[in-house]
């Protein structure tokens, strides 16, 4: 979306919100008041949204991000996963299941960096 489209969307959402909470003025009057009072803030928001969107498009493509999970039976590795509850980093318990998916950023050189580790449930009753 362009800056103008983002600004129009913000104004429309604020207008609808104010109408929903019971403002009795005409929509054109409410919009004029919003533009008068909030134009600088909304311009800054729209500019930030455009910059962030541009950075994301330049730095990431959908192929760069990969959803990660841990297969049952693998041993807990705190550098690659987070444990549900209070697990010590030295725990060697097997993984029962992944309870929250993770997200990895793949580099074009072939490596990957964990952005969000998958959260796993451990079988702490299993013998090592």
Residue 61 in tokens: 């493509």
* 106 strand-pairing partners: 112
- For residues 72 and 126, the answer to whether their CB atoms sit within 8 Å is no
Q: Please report the domains of the chain, with CATH numbers, ordered by start residue.
A: 3-59 (no CATH), 62-122 (2.30.22)
- pLDDT value at 109 more than 80: no
- The CA distances from residue 99 to 84, 118, 123, in Å, are 8, 8, 13
| β 112-116/102-106 pair status | antiparallel
- For residues 123 and 75, the answer to whether their CB atoms sit within 8 Å is no
pLDDT digits (tens, 9 = 90+) for 1-28: 677 888 888 999 999 999 999 988 898 9
Average pLDDT over residues 32-39: 91
- The CA distances from residue 121 to 81, 100, 102, 109, in Å, are 10, 10, 14, 32
Report the predicted TM-score, pTM, of the whole model to 2 decimal places: 0.46
Residue 117 in tokens: 């580790």
pLDDT at 127: 45
pLDDT at 86: 60
With CA atoms as reference, report the closest residue to 83 among 51, 52, 121.
121
pLDDT digits (tens, 9 = 90+) for 36-93: 999 999 998 888 888 887 777 766 555 578 888 899 889 888 888 888 776 565 677 8
Query: Strand order in 112-116's β-sheet?
Result: 65-68, 102-106, 112-116
């Amino acid at each position: 979306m362009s800056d103008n489209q983002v600004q129009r969307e913000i104004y429309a959402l604020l207008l609808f919100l104010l109408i929903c909470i019971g403002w009795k003025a005409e929509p054109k009057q409410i919009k004029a008041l919003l533009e008068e009072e909030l134009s600088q803030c909304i311009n800054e928001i729209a500019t930030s949204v455009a910059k962030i969107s541009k950075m994301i498009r330049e730095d990431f493509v959908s192929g760069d991000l990969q959803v990660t999970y841990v297969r049952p039976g693998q041993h807990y590795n705190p550098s690659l996963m987070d444990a549900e509850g209070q697990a010590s980093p030295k725990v060697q318990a097997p993984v029962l299941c992944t309870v929250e998916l993770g997200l990895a950023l793949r580099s074009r050189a072939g490596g990957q960096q964990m952005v969000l580790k998958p959260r796993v449930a451990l079988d702490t009753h299993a013998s090592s």
